[in-house]
Amino acid sequence: MSTLRNTTCPCCDEGTLQPVKRDYIAPIGEGQTLRIPSLEMEVCDKCGEEILSLEAAREVDSAIADYTERLTPGDLTAMRESFGLDKTEMSEALGLGGKTYLRWEQGNQYPSRSMGYYLRVLREFPQAFEWLRSRGWRGRNRISTVEETPMTEMQKLFPDLSLSQPEMVWPNSAEITSRRFANPARGLTRVEFFLK
């Protein structure tokens, strides 16, 4: 470790930076922290500010990436190339800003943990990615076309899931017109649709 001993603290301009080796507490978002043990750093003897070397900062970044299961720039590049898209097209397909995917691949920014999970699903189920890219939901009224939407479409998209689930039977048109159906998002709202 290159030492900054006897260097004035850039934060308080009063103390002196001293080399130490101790646990470092890294913020990882949403009020959570991650403890990285035995990290070499410089600490101000006056204000207590911790200054990390480039090597230590990389170690912290690597520990955070492992803990949060962050996709690497290489993972992101391989995923995009598997879909045959450039960075701008990939951003557009995912509904992101035009250069967001480029920044992810360069390592200048990182996808959130939840976005990482979402991207892994799309990588595992390319049909779902194509449905997303083509905006398959546009022009479809799922309630009025319920009898025209067979479960086999979902089984094609998620074959592993359909193997373990009991077969769903859609109501016929007589059943649809004679009773109420709960909103598909019934856990979120209390709205019900009455079909005529």
Domain membership of residue 29 (yes or no) is yes
Please indicate, yes or no, whether residues 116 and 158 belong to a single structural domain of this protein. Answer: no
Separation in Å, CA 171 to CA 79, 81, 146, 167: 39, 42, 8, 13
Share of the chain above pLDDT 70, in %: 67
The tens digit of pLDDT for each residue in 84-136 reads: 999 999 999 999 988 999 999 998 998 988 899 999 999 999 999 999 999 98
Angle at 169 between CA 167 and CA 171, to 5 degrees: 170
Does residue 141 sit within a domain?
Answer: no
150 with 178, same domain?
A: yes
* 119 and 162 both lie in a single domain: no
The pLDDT of residue 43 is 94
Q: Kindly indicate the confidence band of residue 172, based on its pLDDT and cuts at 50, 70 and 90.
A: low
Which residues are bridge partners to 44 per DSSP?
17
Note whether 119 and 158 are same-domain residues.
Answer: no
CATH number at residue 44: 3.10.20
Q: How confident is the model at residue 179 (pLDDT cuts 50, 70, 90)?
A: very low
Q: Answer yes or no: is 189 within a domain.
A: yes
Q: How confident is the model at residue 189 (pLDDT cuts 50, 70, 90)?
A: very low
pLDDT at 180 over 60: no
Domain assignment present for residue 90? The answer is yes
Domain that holds residue 48: 17-68
Residues 184, 151 within the same domain:
yes
Instruction: Provide the pLDDT confidence category of residue 186 given band limits of 50, 70 and 90.
Output: very low
Q: From residue 182, give the alpha-carbon distance in Å to each of 38, 90, 121, 169.
A: 56, 36, 28, 16
Q: Does any domain span residue 24?
A: yes
- Whether residue 28 contacts residue 55, with contact meaning beta carbons closer than 8 Å, is answered with no
pLDDT in the model for residue 139? 64
C-alpha distances (whole Å) from 53 to each of 13, 41, 42, 48, 185 are: 19, 7, 8, 16, 50
183 with 154, same domain?
Answer: yes
pLDDT score of 48? 93
Q: Is residue 8 part of a domain?
A: no
Q: Is residue 21 part of a domain?
A: yes
pTM: 0.52
Q: Is residue 77 a part of any domain in this protein? A: no
**Residues 128 and 153 placed together within one structural domain of the fold:** no
pLDDT tier at 194, thresholds 50, 70, 90: low
pLDDT tens-digit map of 14-48: 999 999 999 999 998 778 899 999 999 999 999 99
Does 26 share its domain with 48?
yes
Q: Number of structural domains, the chain?
A: 3
